[in-house]
Chain A
Amino acid sequence: MENYVIEMLRIRKEFPGIVANNNINLQVKHGEIHALLGENGAGKSTLMNVLFGLYQPEQGEIRVKGDTVKITDPNIANELGIGMVHQHFMLVDTFTVTQNIILGSEPKNGIVVDTKRAEKEIIELSKKYGLDVDPKAKIRDISVGMQQRVEILKTLYRGADVLILDEPTAVLTPQEIKELMKILRSLTQEGISIILITHKLKEIMEVCDRCTVIRKGEGIGTVDVKESNPNELASLMVGREISFKTEKTPAQPKDEVLKVEALEVKDIRNALMVKGLNLSVKAGEIVGIAGIDGNGQTELIEALTGLRKIENGKINLSGKDITNLSPRKITESGVAHIPQDRHKFGLVLDYAIGENMVLQSYYQKPFSNMGILSFKEIYNYANRLIEEYDVRTPSPYTKAKALSGGNQQKAIIAREVDRSPDLLIAAQPTRGLDVGAIEFIHKKLIEERDKGKAVLLLSFELDEILNVSDRIAVMFDGNIVANVKPEETNEQELGLLMAGSKKQKVGEQ
């Protein structure tokens, strides 16, 4: 008999209208790192929420260390030694590391919180697992990587010996990811078992012992990572063969389309986020902006598209000054924008998908004549886009909110690309999408480039930046700190540049 710490057997969880988990088995051995792999919406989070006591399964059995248990709320999960590190951290910014860790289970000395004792315990824990955090630092002063360690410490402090990590590397730089992997290994050596929710195959290959694959709510099976390879894992996850390398010919850049000079932009809190940035994008090339979230990328994109006021500097589009024009004027000048947040900016979710297809052009002929809409023209147009871009929707009259994330994104891309813009700005165009949809979107971006359009790609995924871009501009602290060619660099170097630790003289070629 194998020594399993966690066994989830034949788990079934339904939501109104869908079966999120059907007959899924997950068995985690003592001291292993077990990957839970699946596309978005495959049911990974549901399964983990069942284990953590947030959902009750309709069927199935959960065993912890051999005993059958009923986990009806997260407190019971905690008592059983299960701890979860969420993708979005749950920390109080203005508290110290210690205060955050003990929050809710403070050691007391009479009625006073015994901070001294807590600090000592945290230092001990931190040493034991090689976490290296400063218990007196405030959360807002430490890096995202450190914050994640605080989250891990929080669970360890409560005596967890099974850790669930939900997409832990999504917010980290390559260096931080390396260090996290080291920490995970040292945790397992101390007898802690880890469940890693992810859809990044590289990480699984690097650090995991076994991997359970879920596809569309069904358990596909568990494989030994040593005996598998990324291709096998990907096809298990998606259900078909996937090509990883994006096929493309070398770029043939022509005239300069976008020229940004000494741009300065402030964020909502009036802090200067873009600090004198220079950037140039030529027709027929894809420029990728690499960088860690929060270094001014959002503000840059919003300034380029007219959504945010420009404090200083100039933006030129094919020789025309578009500085501080309205979004409509900029759109009409030939800029298309695939926004970072498709629900907030990209779509009117309560509008039909057909109505969303004309979100920027509804007032133009032939969609509108003297202010009167022609729904016949609108839906003819929508039908053509839906077919050409393979948007899976029951009909063009279906509300946008009823579509899956991938199809919503395809609809946005159809709308933006079909306007045939001179400059296509794609901000995280594949965020949260599965491998199949990512493949499609990358192909479309390259097609646009080959048609002689300028493409500006913003992404936090280094793989995407390296695969798709013809030139990479690394952004750090509101500036472009380096311009590199993807074939002359690697993740290691990019990571260092993104962290600002290696500066390169910025020279536009």
Chain B
Amino acid sequence: MSQYNAPLRDMHFVMKELAGLEQVVQLPGYEEVDTDLSDAILEEASKFAGNVLSPINFSGDQEGSKWHNKAVTVPAGFKEAYTQFAENGWTALACSPEFGGQGLPKLISTAVNEMWKSANMAFSLCPMLTTGAIEALMTAGSDALKQKFLPKMVSGEWTGTMNLTEPSAGSDLAAVRTRAEPQGDGSYKIFGQKIFITYGDHNMTENIVHLVLARLPNAPEGVKGISLFVVPKFMVKDDGSLGERNDAYCVSIEHKLGIHASPTAVMAFGDHGGAVGYLVGEENRGLEYMFIMMNAARFAVGMEGVALAERAYQQAVWYAKDRIQGTELGVRGGPKVSILKHPDVRRLLMSMRSQTEAARALAYVVAAAMDAAKHHPDEAVRAANQAFADLMIPVVKGHSTEMSIEVASEGVQVHGGMGFIEETGAAQHLRDARITAIYEGTTAIQANDLIGRKMAREGGATIKAVIAEMRKLDAKLAAQNGADFVAIRKRFAAGVDALEQAANWIVAIFKDDIKAAHAGSVPFLRLLGIVAGGWQMARAALVAQEKIAGGDSDPFYAAKIVTARFFADHQLTKAQGLTDSIVDGATGTLALAEELF
């Protein structure tokens, strides 16, 4: 089994050459950051990921988190790794300096987070959820709540959870039934059950801060009647020390397909008289606060897709180089060779590699747009970047995660029979990847958001602007010599044509036949993911070509052009097929009468 080795070369390349790290660190608010600091952080993070988190990934999966008597014990090594993680300040990377954080740009924290997710996705979920809870409190919490909870959450001494889902309130949160009763002293008592609570209980820290969606008495029906509460595992006294155990218990954990080390809790609030909670922000605005964080959370899960695809690729390459089987095609009586010599193994590896690199490039570019949307001094630039990020976040989430499942499956295939055996390590990545296309909004939820809120509602203005931007690359591609660029240019142009055709169709039909539009929403999300990925790979090839022309002999650049060419020939060629499915496929999807299923 291979250990994780952070792809620093590609990360630096994408950050600097495609996502514009130089410009990002110039933005107001990031005065403390420069590219040297970014390099230093990535280097140390890569060591931590490779040496501390990666070695407990497989053992954590095999052992799993254990539940006993309303308490969860994480697998061996997790508590120690978490303590070191927090001590080294990694929990605070993107948090506001006001509460002890480092306030790093999204672009840099994205690369660092990719490493945690690649090295040990089950571990990474705990700090990720904590970050979400921190942002919710930061956005809407009162000063008193912030002072009470934030410093210890930012420092990692306490972790955070997000309690949204209930047995009958999943994708449809309007059905939340957990209730909150005012106590007259400013606090509330919370009663109800929440499910799928990631790290809802564990033994890594002395306290856990739960953010819980619940209904106040007489609250309006539906989404407009949900409020947000902080419910600590242990009460926090005014001097900051811990008080009594709160009535919030983990009553069981789920048995899952993957991420076994990450405890997925069933939380019971108020079984013994009521869990003490405090209102975050205003009454009945809980969902709204949650939606503020939705983009960040969805983007983070999209990065899980990139990260797992990377890890699966590394494992597959390691095995393909090591495994000797058969002779090389066309070499009669030749020696036995590693399977890396076999064309189909190469096809699988190039498929994994090119899709991973494309997804990483797109995600980092979107991260940089999120930085600009927040910090750029020019309001018009902020707005344009926000629109771009809003359009692309469902794509990063939906496409990268679906891609990671396919890539992890290809990784298993590279291993042959050994891939089906757990001890080899390839299977875990496939199992772990499977959840990413489900939680934080399934792929269909992302796709519906994409074609509805992000496209149809604005008449396709942003997608059209993005397509126009893509077309600008054509002249630059045409100016390059060589068969690789001829192929990249041709495939990319065809891909953009297909994307434009599908986008126009969806925007046009959305009002007249909303079901037909939604029947094609997921294929459209994949189409945009592929063409936008091809766009970034074409940009990468142009930069690489420029470096080579300038005398740079780093083999990374030649490999980048080869990879971009492969992506053009093997992924961009799918674009027209997807468009045909979107434009013509709704009939077949919707025609059958229900009783025929």
Are A and B part of the same complex?
A: no
**B residues lining the A interface (CB < 8 Å):** none
